[in-house]
Amino acid sequence: MGWIGESVDSIKSLQIRQVLTQAVSLGMIVTSALIIWKALMCITGSESPVVVVLSGSMEPGFKRGDILFLHMSKDPIRAGEIVVFNVDGREIPIVHRVIKVHERQDTGEVDVLTKGDNNYGDDRLLYAHGQLWLQRHHIMGRAVGFLPYVGWVTIIMTEKPIIKYILIGALGLLVITSKD
Amino acid sequence: MHSFGYRANALVTFAVTILALMCGMASLSDNFNSPSPSAQVQVLNINWFQKQPNANDEVSMTLNISADLQSLFTWNTKQVFVFLAAEYETPKNSLNQISLWDAIIPSKEHAKFWIHTSNKYRFIDQGSNLRGKEYNLTMHWHIMPKTGKMLADKIVMPGYRLPKEYR
C-alpha cells in the first residue's frame, strides 16, 4: 500500500511542477517582451518607439506595412524631418514631413506645418478645425530608421482578429505541450 | 531533441538572424559613401510681393534650380527627397524655414537635373518682415534607405535679398 501511494504522490507532484515550469516560462516570455518595449521607450524617449505605417500618404518612401523607428530628443524640429504627430480629436497618429518651421525668438516654441510626400496639399485639412500649426506637444517623435514589410504582421492581426486568436492559441498550446 | 518543431524553430531563428544582420550591414555600408553633391539656385523673378489682409507678407518668385545629387545614391538607397527652403530670421522668430519646392528622386539617372519653376508652396511670413529681407536658400536632402538609418544633409546658399517695396 505504502509504495503505491508514494508513486501516485510523486506523479501528482511531478505534474504540478511541470505545469508550474510551463507557467513560469510563459511568464518569462511575456515579461521579457515587456522589458524590451519599456527599455526602448526609455532609450528613444518616445512613448511609442516603433510605429507601423498605415496609409500611403508618404509613398513611395514609406508604404503601408513598413516599420518606422522613432526618436524623441530635445533637438529642435527642422524642415524636412519626418515626424509622427497626434492631432486633437484623432486617435491614430500621422507620419508626415515637416515643410515649414517658425521658431520663436524668446520662448523657443515652434510652429510647424506638415505634408505627406504623396499628398497634393499640406496637412491643414487634417488638423483640428481652425488649427493652422502643430506645436511641440503634438509631436510624438521623429522617424530615424526604417524597416520594410515587417509591419504587415500587426496590420493583418488588427484587421483579421481571428488570425490573432489562432496564433495565440497555437503558441499557447505549443508552450503547454512542449517538454523541455 | 530532433523533432520537426525544433528543427523548424532553429531554421527560422537562424534565417531571421541572418536577415537582420544583412539589413544592419546594408545600413552600415552607407557610411563608406562620401558624397560630393552640388547645387545652384537663381531667383529669376519676383512675380508679386504683397501684404495679405491679415498683415502677413507673401511673395511669389520664379526659381531656376540645378543640382547634381548622383553621388548620394548607393546600393541601399531607395529614393532621395530633395527640397529647397528659404531660411531667415525675424525679430519675432529666431528661425523661419519655408519649403519652396520639393521633389522625389527615384534613381541615380534622375539625380542630375535643372528645373525652372515658381514656388510650389506659399512663401508667407509670420508678420510683415519680408521687405528688403536677406535670406538663405538651402537645398536639403533626405536619403531614404531600402532598410536602416535615414540620412540627411544640406547645402546653404546665402546672400539672397527680397525687394524693398511691395509689387
Whether B122 is covered by a domain: the verdict is yes
Q: Residue A60 belongs to a domain with what CATH number?
A: 2.10.109.10
Residue span of the structural domain in which B6 resides? 1-32
Residue span of the structural domain in which A54 resides? 50-149
Closest CA to A141 of A91, A82, A64: A82
Nearest-angstrom CA–CA distance, B37 and B67? 8
Q: B82 with B22, same domain? A: no
- DSSP string spanning A124-135? GGTSSTT---B-
Whether B155 is covered by a domain: the verdict is yes
Look at residues A29, A44, A59 and tell me which one is the last residue of a structural domain.
A44
- Specify whether A96 is catalytic: yes
Closest CA to A141 of A95, A79, A92: A95
pLDDT at A14 over 70: no
Q: B92 with B134, same domain? A: yes
Q: A114 with A125, same domain? A: yes
Q: A140 with A76, same domain? A: yes
Q: Give me the catalytic one of A7, A46, A75, A96.
A: A96
Q: A16 with A87, same domain? A: no
Contact B78 A122 (CB under 8 A): no
Nearest-angstrom CA–CA distance, A99 and A119? 13
* A and B: number of Cβ contacts within 8 A: 83
Q: What is the pLDDT of residue B17?
A: 94
Of B85, B104, B145, the CB nearest to A117: B104
Q: B9 with B80, same domain? A: no
Q: B90 with B144, same domain? A: yes
Q: Residue B72 belongs to a domain with what CATH number?
A: 2.60.40
**Cβ atoms of residues A77 and A112 within 8 Å:** yes
Q: A118 with A157, same domain? A: no
Nearest-angstrom CA–CA distance, A159 and A155? 6
Q: B139 with B75, same domain? A: yes
Contacts of B130 (CB under 8 A, 6+ apart): B49, B57, B59, B162
Q: B74 with B5, same domain? A: no
Whole-complex ipTM: 0.85
Backbone angles phi, psi at B3, to 5 degrees: -75, 165
Q: Which residue has 538663405 as its cell numbers?
A: B136
Whether B167 is covered by a domain: the verdict is no
Q: B23 with B43, same domain? A: no
Q: How confident is the model at residue A173 (pLDDT cuts 50, 70, 90)?
A: confident
Q: How confident is the model at residue A8 (pLDDT cuts 50, 70, 90)?
A: low
Q: A144 with A55, same domain? A: yes
Q: How would you class B90 by CB atoms within 10 Å of its CB: exposed for 0-12, middle for 13-18, buried for 19 or more? A: middle
Closest chain B residue to A178, measured at CA: B5
Q: A55 with A143, same domain? A: yes
Q: How confident is the model at residue A120 (pLDDT cuts 50, 70, 90)?
A: confident
Gyration radius of chain A's alpha carbons: 24
Domain count, chain B: 2
Q: B23 with B72, same domain? A: no
Domain count, chain A: 3
Q: How confident is the model at residue A17 (pLDDT cuts 50, 70, 90)?
A: confident
Whether B5 is covered by a domain: the verdict is yes
Stretch 72-131 of chain B: residues touching chain A, C-beta under 8 Å: 78-79, 81, 83, 85, 90-99, 102, 104, 106, 121, 126
Q: B79 with B137, same domain? A: yes
Q: B24 with B38, same domain? A: no
Helix (H) or strand (E) holding A171: helix A161-177
Q: A162 with A119, same domain? A: no
How close A112 gets to chain B, by Cα (Å)? 9
Residue A28, amino acid: M
Of B95, B121, B152, the CB nearest to A99: B121
Q: What is the pLDDT of residue B35?
A: 87
Q: A99 with A154, same domain? A: no
**C-alpha distances in Å from residue B41, one per residue of A84, B47, B129:** 31, 16, 23
Whether B166 is covered by a domain: the verdict is no
Q: A56 with A134, same domain? A: yes
User: What pLDDT digit, counting tens, does each position of A69-118 carry?
Assistant: 888 888 889 999 999 998 888 888 889 999 999 999 888 889 999 999 88
Does the beta carbon of B7 lie under 8 angstroms from any beta carbon of chain A? no
User: What pLDDT digit, counting tens, does each position of B64-107 carry?
Assistant: 999 999 999 998 898 999 999 999 999 989 999 999 999 999 99
Q: B20 with B49, same domain? A: no
Q: A32 with A71, same domain? A: no
**Mean pLDDT over residues A151-169, rounded?**
88
Q: What is the pLDDT of residue B64?
A: 94
Q: A126 with A67, same domain? A: yes
Q: B42 with B122, same domain? A: yes
Q: A178 with A106, same domain? A: no
Q: How confident is the model at residue A18 (pLDDT cuts 50, 70, 90)?
A: confident
